[in-house]
Amino acid sequence: MVARPLLISAAATLLLASPVLAGPALAGPALAGTAAPPGHAGGVPPRAQRIAATTATFNSIEAKIAAGQPVNLRFPDPTAAADIIDYGVNGLWQRGIDGAGVTVAYVVTNPDPGLAASMTSYDTAMNLPPADITDLALPAPTDPAAPCQIECSTGEDRLDAEAIHSMAPFAKIIFVHPPVPETIGMQGWPEVAQAIKMIADRHLADVISVSLGDGENSFINDPTNPAATQQAAVHSLDPAFLDAAARGVPVMFASGDCGPTDPPVLGDTGQCTPTSGVTAGHVADSPWVTAVGGTIPNAGLATAAGRTAPDALWAARNDHSDAEGAGVSAIYPKPSWQQGIPALSGVTGRAYPDISMDADDGTSQASPTFAGILALATQVRRADLGTVNPALAALGPRGAAAGIVDVPAGFTNSAFGVTGFPTSSGYDIASGWGTIFAPDFVPALVKQIDSQHGPDQPSQQAQGELNQLRGDIGASAHEVTRGQAVTVTGEGFIPGRSPNGTIIQDGFGVFPPLPGQFGVTGPPFADPDSTVPGQAWDHVTATVTGPGDSHQQPLAVTGPDGNGAVTATIDTTGLVPGPYTVKITGRLLTQTTAFTVADVVSGLTPRR
Q: Give me the residue spans of the domains in the chain.
A: 38-465, 473-497+536-598
What pLDDT shows up at residue 415? Answer: 84
Residue 307 backbone phi and psi in degrees, to 5: -75, 130
Whether residue 333 contacts residue 399, with contact meaning beta carbons closer than 8 Å, is answered with no
Instruction: Say how far apart CA 356 and CA 586 lie, in whole Å.
Output: 35
Residue 9 predicted with pLDDT over 70: no
For every residue of 375-444, DSSP letters joined together read: HHHHHHHTS-----HHHHHHHGGGGGGGTEEPPPSS-B--BTTB---B--SS-BTTTBT-EE-HHHHHHH
Question: Distance of CA 530 to CAs 105, 220, 504, 522, Å?
Answer: 30, 21, 5, 17
Whether residue 423 contacts residue 432, with contact meaning beta carbons closer than 8 Å, is answered with no
Range list of β-strands (E), 245-382: 251-254, 281-282, 290-296, 312-313, 327-333, 349-352, 355-358
Instruction: Say how far apart CA 606 and CA 608 lie, in whole Å.
Output: 7
Instruction: Say how far apart CA 407 and CA 361 lie, in whole Å.
Output: 18
The pLDDT tens digits of the residues spanning 399-419 come to: 999 999 999 999 999 887 888
The partner residues of 543 in beta bridges, in order of sequence, read 554, 583
* Choice among 92-96, 142-146, 528-532 with the minimum mean pLDDT: 142-146
Question: Distance of CA 506 to CAs 187, 200, 393, 409, 523, Å?
Answer: 10, 29, 36, 36, 11
| Residue 289 CB partners (closer than 8 Å, separation 6+) | 241, 251, 252, 253, 283, 387
| Residue 222 CB partners (closer than 8 Å, separation 6+) | 185, 186, 228, 233, 266
Top-confidence residue, 603 or 429:
429
What pLDDT shows up at residue 262? Answer: 61
Q: What is the pTM of this model?
A: 0.88
Q: What is the percentage of the chain residues whose pLDDT exceeds 70? A: 78
Sequence-ordered alpha helix ranges (H) in 112-204: 115-126, 154-167, 189-201
What pLDDT shows up at residue 442? Answer: 98
Top-confidence residue, 315 or 484:
484
Whether residue 131 contacts residue 125, with contact meaning beta carbons closer than 8 Å, is answered with no
Architecture of domain 38-465: 3-Layer(aba) Sandwich (3.40)
In terms of average pLDDT, the best of 42-46, 74-78, 562-566 is 562-566
Average predicted confidence (pLDDT) for the chain: 82
Whether residue 1 contacts residue 127, with contact meaning beta carbons closer than 8 Å, is answered with yes
Residue 597 backbone phi and psi in degrees, to 5: -95, 130
Range list of β-strands (E), 66-198: 103-107, 132-137, 172-177
Residue 277 predicted with pLDDT over 50: yes
For residue 584, what pLDDT band results from cuts at 50, 70 and 90? very high
* Choice among 124-138, 174-188, 252-266, 478-492 with the minimum mean pLDDT: 252-266
State the first-to-last Cα distance of the chain, in angstroms, to the nearest integer.
65
* Topology (CATH level 3) of domain 473-497+536-598: Immunoglobulin-like (2.60.40)
Residue 28 predicted with pLDDT over 70: no
Whether residue 375 contacts residue 173, with contact meaning beta carbons closer than 8 Å, is answered with no
For residue 172, what pLDDT band results from cuts at 50, 70 and 90? very high
For residue 275, what pLDDT band results from cuts at 50, 70 and 90? low
The sign one gets for the Cα dihedral 118, 122, 124, 127 is negative
Peptide bond into 560 cis (omega under 30): yes
The sign one gets for the Cα dihedral 174, 177, 182, 188 is negative
What pLDDT shows up at residue 510? Answer: 36
The partner residues of 545 in beta bridges, in order of sequence, read 581
Mean pLDDT (whole number) for 138-144: 50
